[in-house]
Structures are given as structure tokens and as C-alpha cells.
Structure 1
Amino acid sequence: MNIVFMGTPDLAAVVLDKLVHSEHKVLAVVTQPDKPKGRGNQVLSTPVKEMAARYDIPVLQPNRVRAEEFFPVLKDINPDAIVVAAFGQIIPKTILELPKYGCINVHASLLPKYRGAAPIQWSIINGEEKTGITIMHMDAGIDTGDMIIKEEVTIDAKETGGSLHDKLAVCGGDLLLKALTLIENGTAPREKQKDEESSYVKILDKSMGLIDFNRTAVEIERFIRGLNPWPSAYTYLDGKTLKIWDADVTDTKAEGKPGEIIAVTKDSLLIKTASGELAVKELQLEGKKRMSADAFLRGYPVAPGVVLNNGSN
């Protein structure tokens, strides 16, 4: 099958790599324009562009795929199918209907639940025990098309957004190839989604990482894992940003107010929440490297009674 691949981040790059090593031919890759990143505003290629360059695949980077001038470019390529994985733009009806087999989406959740952005992170934050990959026929809605095939992935007790991303990327590549075989053979199912079971999850940004210690320890621990590695969960200590990378839930029933450090052990900081406590195991103070609580405490002694806050005081 001749394919145009549309995707942008790391997950999409893993799926593209799997597709390149299959019997299918990737005619071109469409990805988001290069953007400046980091403190130096260095212009960086997307992970999908870098993967395409590795295999000498032509790369297209339109500012808007809806632009009239882009459609003729795709039409000239004449793909049998367009595969989409975390592309980052709404694809217009003209493109959806262009290929013989339509546009096929690799979605990182078990639809219809968790439509929209960041389903990987929200599945952890919301305490799901499983998630997965859905391969679907695309339509004009956001993740509303008919489903072809799904595969479940277990969310482990200490799963982070990063580790789950990596598991789902591999699963997505494998499942896509199975779906393409079904499509090519004319045996691909079209299971309609139950809209009443759906929800849309919002995109992540840096501001959402601020920890609210008025929530329970269980909720906060999931929040920390879900936002690891990006955008990361944080609070403030002595007016400096303090990222928390890893914590365990405890239930000592100690006295204190939410956000208060109620005990300091050799290898952890014990923080009071609305219900239960968090034993912080790994953290990062502004301007410092990520480190274990043990290493942190050797260089930055903290006494019980200190209250972590939202930066306003």
C-alpha cells in the first residue's frame, strides 16, 4: 500500500519507523513546521521529520493543511491511504476523502473514552487501570470516526506519562500494521463509537503542573506520575520552584496542614495532603539537577513545619 504519513511527536516517529520497515511504502511525510525551543530558541525539527530524514522520505511542512494550495500537493502524490498519528492539526474533509482507503488514525487510548489531546497523561491522572491503542477511520469530528481495531495496555502502579507513552508507541505501530492488512483485504470492521461514553481531555501546558495539596495523596501521586516527564508537577519551596518527580502514598495520620512537611527521613520528605501523606523520593529545586531526596537533603536541609506553597508567599 502506498501511504502518506502525517504526524509530529515522538509517538508518531515510533509508529513511522514501524511502518517504514513493513511491506508498505511511505511516499511522503507531513509534519508540523519547525519551531524554536528551549532557552536559546534553537529551531528544531519535529521527531517525525528527523525519522523521515533517516530514511530519505520527502517531508512536507505546511503551516495549515487546510490551505487551498496544499491539497493539490497531496493529490499529486496519490496515496492509497493516509496514516495519521498525533499530527496536531484538524484535517479537512477534502483530504479525508482523497485516498482510496481514506485516512487512518492511530489514537493513544481506548475510544470512545479520552478523545482529544493528552489521553496518555490523563489516563494516569484519572487513575485508570488500563488504556490502549485504537486504530480508526477518520471523519470530520475529533476522534469520532468508526473504530477498526483496539488493543489494551495495562497501566502499572508506578507508570509515568513517559513510560506509558513508550509502551503505547510500540503497540500503536504493531496494531497499525494489523489494521492496514484488514483494510487492504477488505475485512476491516467499522464499529461506531458510543458518543455517550466519550469525554474530551484538554491539552497539557506548563501552568497545569502546580500541585494542589488540598487534594488527596492518592490523587496527587497520580498527578505527579501523569505529568512526568512533561510538563512536570511542581510546588514552591522558599520562593523557588520545586519539581516533584516521584512520591509514594503513605497514611501515617500525622497532624499538619496541606502542603506542610511533617517529617524528614534519610530518603524522603513527608508532605501532608487533604487525605494521607506523600513521601517524596525524587525532586528538583529550581536551578539544580534532578536528584533523590537523600541527595537533596544533604545539600539543602529542610526542617519539619515548612509549608510548600503556590508561589504567592
Structure 2
Amino acid sequence: MRVIFMGTPDFAVYSLKALLTQHEVIGVVSQPDKPKGRGKKLVPTPVKAYALEQGLQVYQPEKARDPEFVTMLEKLAPDAIAVTAFGQILPESILNIPKYGCINVHGSLLPKYRGAAPMQWSIIDGEKVTGITTMFMAKGMDTGDMLLKTEVEIAPDDNFASVHDKMAQAGANLLLETLTALQAGTVERIPQDHEAATHAPMITKETGHIDWAKSAQEIIDLMRGLDPAPGAYAIYEDEPLKLFKGIKAEGDYPQGKLGEIVDVTKKGFVVKCGDGGLTITELQARGKKRMATDAYLRGHAMNKGVLLQ
């Protein structure tokens, strides 16, 4: 099958690698390069970098609806357009080009977690299972008819990084399975139940600001879902303190204000939260490396009564 691939981050590279094993990739579309670092040097997206290594033609339209770009896609005449985390909504003028349609690899079991950050929110919400859905793209945000699904377990010690890698591989495998089924005419398109849809909005810095009124497990899930970036955090002495790991504290902590350090143990310091105490076991202070809390405490005092906001 002649396929155009659209994708941008590391997550999408898995899908592109898989496509190259079974299909003819006639072009790759990725977001424009962005400036990074102090020198503001333009850096290619992970998909672009990998595509160029493979000798593939790369296109980077500012806007996918640009008429010249649409005309170029029409001339390439792909059998299918495969999309994994591209970052732009495709117009109808593109959706109608390929014979087998525009197939999106979405990081959730639709219609749950439509939107920009389905993997992070599934962890933050304490889900035990997530998965990949392949779907026909439509004009709305993740509203198209579903094709195939595969489940991925979220283990108690998983964070965003580990779930990302499991999901990326699952998505790559399901994309190949979906294209094979489309060619054979053996896949059924299933409309989504829009009333059952949930939203997974973009992650911002403020998403990670810990609400100490929540339970220890809810805070742990927030830390997991934002690890390694952007990280959950609290304000300590007017500076953000990133908190990456914790465990429900043993014993009861009825006293103290929400966010107050109510105990210091060998494992870390205990913060008063909605259902007792949360022992912080891994953190990162501004300008410092990420480290275990017990190592941090050997060089920094964290006293009882201090309030994390």
C-alpha cells in the first residue's frame, strides 16, 4: 500500500518504523521545526529526524489546509494516510484524498479521553487499563468512526514515560493490523457514542500544581501521570519543588493543615493530604538534580510544620 505518514513526536516514530516494514511510505508530514535552547537553534521533530535518516521525503506545512499542500498530496495519490500524533486537524480536502481514508492512531480507548493528552490523563485518573484505537479521521477532534482497539495495562508503578513506550509500540502494531484489514475489507467501522466521550485536555504547568485536599493515591497518580515532564509540584519557600514519587504514609495523621509537613522519616517527609499523610520519596528542587528524598534530606532540612502550597 502507498502510504503518506503524518506524525511529530517520539510516540509517532514507532508507527513510522512499523509502516516501513510492510508498506511503501511515499512521503512523511511533520510539524515545522521549532527553536530550542539558548541559541534558539531550529531542531527537527523526532519524526522528521528519523524520516530523513531513512531517506524519506519530508513535508512541513505551517497549516495542513494550505491549498498548495493539499494539491501536492492529491498528486502523490496515496492509498492511505496514516496519522499518529501529528498535531493539526486535517481539513475535509485532505480526508477525502486517499482510497482507504485517513487512519488515526489514538492513545485511548475511545470515546474516552478524546483530546491532546489521553495517556497522561488516564494515569492521572487512576485508570488500570488504557489502550489504542484506530479510527477514520473526521472533521471533529477524535470523533471519527472507530476501527480496531487494543488494551494496554497501566501497572501501579507505571508513569507517563513507561506507558508512553508501551502505547507507542501497541499503536504501531495496531496500525499495521488496521491497514491489512482495510485492504482485505474485513474491518467494521463503528460509530462512537458521543454521549460517553470524556475529554483529555492539553497538559499545562498548572496541571501539575498539587491540591493537598486530594487523597494520597490521587496525588500519587498525578505525579505518575506527569513523570518525567512537566512534573507535579508544590511551592516550598516561594520556589517550585517537583515531586515525582510517594507512598501512602503508614499510620494516621489527624493533625496539621493540608500541605503541612507533619513528619520526617527515613524514607522521606510526610505531607498532610485529604485522607491522612503522603510520604514523598523522590523530588527535584529548582536548579538541582532529581533525587531520592532521603538523599535530599541529608543536605537540606525539611522541618515539621513547614507548609507546601
After superposition, give the CA deviation of every residue in 1:73-109 in whole Å (9 maximum; x if it has no partner): 1112111000001111110001001011110000000
Superposition deviation, residue 39 in structure 1: 4.5
Counterpart AA for 1:52: A
Deviations 1:238-293 (A, max 9, x none): 22221001111225221211111111112211111122221111100000000011
Query: Which residue in 2 is equivalent to 1:294?
Result: 294
Does 2:150 match 1:151?
yes
Q: Secondary structure at the match of 2:252?
A: coil
Alpha-carbon displacement from aligned partner over 1:163-185 (angstroms, at most 9, x marks no partner): 11110000000111111100111
Determine the C-alpha separation between the residues in 1 that align with 2:194 and 2:37: 39
Whole-Å separation in 1 of the counterparts to 2:286 and 2:143? 41
Within-5 A mapping of 1:36-47: 36-47=35-46
Residue 279 in structure 1 maps to residue 279 in structure 2: yes
Counterpart CA distance in 1 for 2:32 and 2:206 is 24
> Counterparts in 2 of 1:198-213, with a 5 A limit?
198-213=197-212
SS at 1:121 equivalent: helix
Q: How far apart are residue 67 of structure 1 and its match?
A: 1.2
Q: Name the SS for the 1:299 alignment partner.
A: coil
User: Gaps spanning 5+ residues in structure 2: where?
Assistant: none
In 2, the alpha carbon distance for the partners of 1:292 and 1:101 equals 51
TM-score by structure 2 length? Answer: 0.97
Give the C-alpha shift of residue 42 in structure 1: 3.1
Matched-pair identity in %:
49
Q: Which range moved further: 203-212 or 286-295?
A: 203-212
Alignment of 1:270 with 2:270, yes or no, is: yes
Shift of 1:223: 0.7
1:200-242 per-residue CA deviation (whole Å, 9 max, x = no partner) reads 2211122321111122212111111111112110112222221
**Once the two structures are superposed, what CA deviation does each residue of 1:120-171 show, in whole Å capped at 9, x if it has no partner?**
0000111111100001111112111111110011111122111111100000
1:129 alignment counterpart: 128
**Counterpart of 2:246?**
247
SS at match of 2:22: coil
Gaps of 5+ in 1: none
C-alpha RMSD of matched pairs (Å): 1.2
> Structure 1 residues 182 and 105 mapped into 2: Cα distance closer, same or farther (>3 Å)?
same
SS at match of 1:29: strand
Structure 2 equivalent of residue 307 of structure 1:
307
Alignment-mate amino acid for residue 55 of structure 1: Q
Rounded to whole Å, the distance in 2 between the matches of 1:195 and 1:239 is 43
Report the number of matched residues.
308
Q: Cα distance, 1:9 vs. partner?
A: 0.9
- TM-score, normalised via structure 1 length: 0.96
